[in-house]
Structure 1
Amino acid sequence: MSTPILICDDSKLARRQLARSLPDDWDIKVEFAEHGLDCIEKIKEISPEILFLDLNMPHLDGYGVLQAIQEQGLNVLTVVVSGDIQPSAHQRVMELGAIDFIRKPCDAQKLEEIITHHGIKDKAIRANLVHKLGEQLEPEIRDIYQEIANVAMGQAGDLLARLLNVFVELPIPNVNVLEVNELHMALQAIDANATTSGVCQGFIGGGVSGEALLLLNDSSFKEIASLMKYQGELNQKVELELLMDVSNILIGAILTGLSRQLDMPFSQGHPVVLGQHCEVSELVKANKSRWQRTLAIEISYGIEHHNINCDLMLLFTEDSLKTLKYKVAYLLDD
């Protein structure tokens, strides 16, 4: 049976070009939608298994389509095809449930690579992908995770502020369920132009497990040493000690904060140095085999009037999602 495909773009030329670029050996039936509202109606009408979606369209743009797909529980795998190549656009569509992002104009070879990478010619693989998308965070659950992380983040920031006698700038935590390739991109996006040192520490407790990953921009060490009143030579050994001090404070405090709110004690493993003075891509390359599908909570700390930047990511395993959801469900009760 032919696989139903929907191509949504307000440009007739773009629709036809994409259709012609699909693999010749793929048994598919292609339908078209001219804008976002038309797309939602077509999804309900013909139940396509795969949607190739433009972003900039009249009536309802691609972001609105992705949001409607989530809110209405429509089962379709979406690949965004757009000329908008800003990193923020890429990140936003992935957060809204797209499985990949292709830059316009997309050629047949690039399209084939995306299709092969995700294995979406195979019906069983498509079904598994749809199942995983169905497990994405509901808005209410995401809000709770964000608030819990916000409280724990504040406690960790307070400890750091007291230690260094500074004002710690606290962001809104970023919460997402990410596949390994998406996590790889998220980590690389932290600071692609700077070298970084990183520490990872595992934790486990009550059916929940994961790793806390701390990345410290190398330009931060000099000012951290000054704030901590260190007078000696700033060599690699000293920088390692400073890195471990910061990670012990932030990771320990945030896990304690989460533990208290979830009523779930965590046992912490020994911290492991991922690398010093590396590009983030190198830290990720060496360790990404351990990071599969994960609930990722990202927190970026800054210190007012100082060039100190620190990113903390909590990576919960896929097996932890069900337990975490159960633990926070009572907070949704009226």
Structure 2
Amino acid sequence: MSTSVLICDDSKLARRQLARSLPDDWDIKVEFACDGVDCIKQITKAQPEILFLDLNMPEMDGYGVLAAMKEQGLDVLTVVVSGDIQPSAHQRVLELGAIDFIQKPCSPEKLAAIIEHHGIRDRALRERMSHSLGEQVDPDVRDIYQELTNVAMGQAGDLLARLLNVFVKLPIPNVNVLEVSELNMALSSVDSNDTTSGICQGFIGGGVSGEALLLLNDSSFKEIASLMNYEGELNDKVELELLMDVSNILIGAILTGLSKQLDMTFSQGHPIVLGQHRDVSELVQSNKSRWQRTLAIEISYGIENHDISCDLMLLFTEDSLKTLKYKVAHLLED
């Protein structure tokens, strides 16, 4: 069965050139759209599997197309093809859901390399990429990562419970391999109606590296201060100290718990303040250039009978995945 491909560009010449640059041995059915409005209409009507999208167009530009696709839940693997080579343009389209960016003019060799890199000639892989948040981890491997995290977060929760004299509600960890454009979606448990303060701390050891990201809703500070018997005035400095205290406990304990189970030692970097009293999207913006494809383990802590919400995300680099798989392989043996 032919793969349906839509090429959207306001230039007839550009549409034809791109169509001619697609691999000759690829069984595809190509359709064309002349602008963004036409593109959305054709996606809705014909439901193509792959979209090659220009950015600068009349009526609706490529950014508008990507935003409309996200808003309407239109799942199409999208590669942007544009003469706009600004780094911010590249970053922006990835954040809006495109899987890659190619600079015009696009040679057949570059196009073939992109197609091969993402495996989009494979139907099963295309379906998985289009309909899931992040790359789905093998169920057995996910179960191991979740169990290792369960043990580690239990130790961290115990320390937090002792510090605050409360009952800490422990969730089931969420494990996925994510692209940078999906990070905001993975943080959906953070209250979007509340501003947030965040800490980021790097770690490395034994062929594994990454960053721990801790986000604390600003509404939590008043209750944390009360539980810690702090009676002074809450200001940015005091709240930063409380944020550091919580992050030191949770990040330190969970990394210690994981390192013991994986039989490796993590060295922790100096904690970096991402920001205070800001939206989640603002907090993660500055680090997106470093957070590319990553194994993400998300833990959302809650405190019973208290309005305290805290998200901890462990982001392991792509280079760490091979080592992690090797470390847990023996746990899969019968």
Q: How does 1:1-334 map to 2 (within 5 A)?
A: 5-6=3-4, 22=8, 24-25=15-16, 26-27=18-19, 29-30=28-29, 51=49, 117-119=100-102, 122-130=111-119, 137-187=137-187, 190-334=190-334
Distance in 2 (CA, whole Å) between partners of 1:256 and 1:30 is 53
Following superposition, the deviation at residue 51 of structure 1 comes to 3.0
Following superposition, the deviation at residue 6 of structure 1 comes to 3.5
What secondary structure, in the 3-state scheme, does the structure 1 residue paired with 2:288 have? helix
Task: Give 5+ residue unaligned stretches, structure 1.
Answer: 8-18, 33-49, 54-79, 102-109
Following superposition, the deviation at residue 116 of structure 1 comes to 8.4
Residue deviations 1:110-164, cap 9 Å, x none? 9xx9768454982201211129x79852221111111111111111111111111
Residue deviations 1:249-306, cap 9 Å, x none? 0000000110011011111111111111111111111221121111110000000110
Following superposition, the deviation at residue 52 of structure 1 comes to 5.3
Distance in 2 (CA, whole Å) between partners of 1:255 and 1:196 is 23
User: Is the CA contact 1:299–1:312 (under 8 Å) kept in the aligned structure 2?
Assistant: yes
User: Is the CA contact 1:184–1:288 (under 8 Å) kept in the aligned structure 2?
Assistant: no
Number of equivalences: 257
- Relative to structure 1, is the Cα distance of residues 280 and 327 closer, same or farther in structure 2, using a 3 angstrom cutoff? same
Distance in 1 (CA, whole Å) between partners of 2:267 and 2:222 is 32
Following superposition, the deviation at residue 192 of structure 1 comes to 2.5
- Relative to structure 1, is the Cα distance of residues 100 and 225 closer, same or farther in structure 2, using a 3 angstrom cutoff? farther
Q: CA RMSD in A?
A: 3.4
Q: Which AA in structure 1 matches 2:161?
A: A
Task: Give 5+ residue unaligned stretches, structure 2.
Answer: 10-14, 23-27, 32-47, 52-65, 80-92, 129-134
User: Is the CA contact 1:160–1:168 (under 8 Å) kept in the aligned structure 2?
Assistant: yes
Distance in 1 (CA, whole Å) between partners of 2:152 and 2:222 is 27
- Relative to structure 1, is the Cα distance of residues 84 and 124 closer, same or farther in structure 2, using a 3 angstrom cutoff? closer
User: Is the CA contact 1:188–1:281 (under 8 Å) kept in the aligned structure 2?
Assistant: no
User: Is the CA contact 1:199–1:271 (under 8 Å) kept in the aligned structure 2?
Assistant: yes
What secondary structure, in the 3-state scheme, does the structure 2 residue paired with 1:122 have? helix
